[in-house]
Amino acid sequence: MPHQPHNLGTLPIADHSFSADRAQLAVARDISVELYDTTTPKYSLLTTLAGHDKTVTSVDIAPTSGRIVTCSQDRNALVWEPQTDGTYKPMLVLLRINRAATFVRWSPDEKKFAVGSGARAIAVCYFEKDDDWWVSRHIKKPLRSTVLSVSWHPNSVLLSAGSTDSHARVFSTFLRGVDEKPEPTAWGERIPFNTVCGDFVSPSGGGWVHDSAFSPSGNALAFVSHDSSVTIVYPSAPDQPPAAIVNVTTTLLPFVTLTWLSENEFVAAGHDCHPVLFSGSGETGWVLDHSLDDPSTAKKSVSKENTALNMFRQMDLKGTPAAALDSTSLPTVHQNTITKLRPYLLAGGRVTKISSSGVDGRVVIFDA
């Protein structure tokens, strides 16, 4: 099957995260996080993590420790420690922000996590053993607006962030006493905390940068903007202009999330309700390849713009046909905006399955 949809109710899903063994699924919706058992064909609700008093905006399960981190519009983040009896104990994080927390992700080594916010700041959080709590340091300059997303480099020190000031940036989060000094990368060798290693705007015009992500090697950065384009940046050397910046414009509705499959492929999705695959390289350029909703159609579906946008355009131009009045479903697996894409299964050095969550309350596993 090219896709496996799971209907988890009607409330929108802001974010989701599978455990490392894919036996559990955490879903952020409304003011709580729902944990599902995924070992059966129909996902069953195990428990609900209720600790926030406003909308939960993001959730992430640490692959090794199993800790769950959540953040919310109540300006707080919680780390949920798994207990031996199967329950979770919440621990409040000292974020020190005065606006909503928007996005959270664990670093690959699980020593830290980063929280984006509406306070024009990113809170980089780590565990203080002496005081037995999670504390944070802030990345502020040159952020000028809400941070919509964060994504970690494989070395657990570099962090990318997309924000509503139309910029995608790469920062160093090096914390002395917490991190080991990483190997030099094309992004830079100077790594004091809050060093800006890259600052980019979409060449096609910009708009909010909804999401960004490093390639598996960390040697490229892709980000999606509200102008319906994707941009891929290849750094050259520290303090030097990028080796290449590739921008692909599309006629689709804006993307809000992306995830890499390999060094030469990534998938983006958003308001068009279906994920699309981009392929290419810094030397040959990048192209929109096909929609994952129906891979057999490949480029045909793209050339015909068989999307929600095209359907509404035709209805506007030609009037609503009688048949359409009786049907409220879209010709896509998701029936509303896709909010988050995540890698699901890695095989042979490539992500072969991805998971998606949406405003329609569905989580879908797509073959990639």
H/E/C letters for each residue in the chain?
CCEEEEECCCCCCCEEEECCCCCEEEEEECCEEEEEECCCCCCEEEEEECCCCCCEEEEEECCCCCCEEEEECCCCEEEEEECCCCCEEEEEECCCCCCCEEEEEECCCCCEEEEEECCCCEEEEEEECCCCEEEEEEECCCCCCCEEEEEECCCCCEEEEEECCCEEEEEECCCECCECCCCCECCECCCCCCCEEEEEECCCCCCCEEEEEECCCCCCEEEEECCCEEEEEECCCCCCCCCEEEEEECCCCCEEEEEEEECCEEEEEECCCCCEEEEEECCCEEEEEEECCCHHHCHHHHHCCCCHHHHHHHHHHHCCCHHHHCCCCCCCCCCCCEEEEEEEEEECCEEEEEEEEECCCEEEEEEC
User: CATH number, domain at 105?
Assistant: 2.130.10.10
Which amino acid is residue 243, in one-letter code?
Answer: A
Percentage of the residues of the chain whose pLDDT score is greater than 70: 90
Q: Give φ, ψ of 366 to 5 degrees.
A: -105, 140
State the Cα–Cα distance between residues 22 and 183, nearest whole angstrom.
Answer: 31
Query: Is pLDDT above 50 for 344?
Result: yes
pTM, rounded to two decimals: 0.90
Query: Is pLDDT above 80 for 279?
Result: yes
Contact 214, 220 (CB under 8 A): yes
Tens-digit pLDDT profile for residues 173-190: 999 999 998 898 999 887
Tens-digit pLDDT profile for residues 180-230: 988 989 998 878 999 999 999 998 877 999 999 999 999 999 999 999 999
Domain span at residue 32 reads 3-367
Mean residue pLDDT of the chain comes to 91
Domain count along the chain = 1
Cα 294 from chain centroid? Answer: 23
